[in-house]
Amino acid sequence: MFSSLNLSQKANIQLDFSNEFDCEISLKPEYLIHPQVSGNKFRKLKYNVEEAQRQNKKTLLTFGGAFSNHIAAVAAAGQEFGFSTVGIIRGEELFNKVDTNPTLKFAYDCGMVFKFISREDYRNKSSLHFVKSLINEFGDFYLIPEGGTNHLAVKGCEEILTEEDIIFDYICCSVGTGGTISGLINSSQPHQKFLGFPALKGDFLQEEIAKFATKSNWNLVNDYNFGGYAKINLELISFINAFKCQNKIPLDPIYTGKMMFGIYDLIKKGFFPKGSKILAIHTGGLQGIDGMNLILKEKSLPLIG
Ligand X SMILES: *Cc1c(COP(=O)(O)O)cnc(C)c1O
Q: Which residues of this chain interact with ligand X, rule CB under 6 A?
A: 39-41, 69, 147, 149, 174-181, 252, 255-256, 283-285
The amino acid at residue 112 is M
Residue nearest to ligand X (CB): 285
Q: Are 236 and 303 in contact (CB under 8 A)?
A: no
Q: Which one, 66 or 118, has the nearer CB to ligand X?
A: 66
Q: Which one, 40 or 187, has the nearer CB to ligand X?
A: 40
Q: Which one, 174 or 188, has the nearer CB to ligand X?
A: 174
- Nearest approach, Cβ of residue 133 and ligand X (Å): 26
- Nearest approach, Cβ of residue 281 and ligand X (Å): 8
Q: Which one, 255 or 261, has the nearer CB to ligand X?
A: 255
Q: Which one, 22 or 155, has the nearer CB to ligand X?
A: 155
Collect all residues with Cβ–Cβ distance below 8 Å to 5 and sequence separation of at least 6: 34, 42, 45, 46, 49, 77, 80
Cα 182 from chain centroid (whole Å): 13
- Nearest approach, Cβ of residue 172 and ligand X (Å): 11
- Nearest approach, Cβ of residue 117 and ligand X (Å): 21
- Nearest approach, Cβ of residue 33 and ligand X (Å): 12
- Nearest approach, Cβ of residue 137 and ligand X (Å): 27
- Nearest approach, Cβ of residue 18 and ligand X (Å): 27
Q: Which one, 21 or 290, has the nearer CB to ligand X?
A: 290
Look at residues 185, 152, 161 and name the one whose alpha carbon lies nearest to residue 4: 152
Biggest distance spanned by C-alpha atoms of the chain: 62
- The neighbouring-strand residues paired with 297 are none
Cα 183 from chain centroid (whole Å): 13
Collect all residues with Cβ–Cβ distance below 8 Å to 72 and sequence separation of at least 6: 37, 41, 103, 106, 107, 287
Q: Which one, 102 or 285, has the nearer CB to ligand X?
A: 285
Give dist(CA 45, CA 142) in Å, integer: 12
Give the ranges where 55-83 is alpha helix by DSSP (H): 69-81
Look at residues 238, 70, 72 and name the one whose alpha carbon lies nearest to residue 144: 70
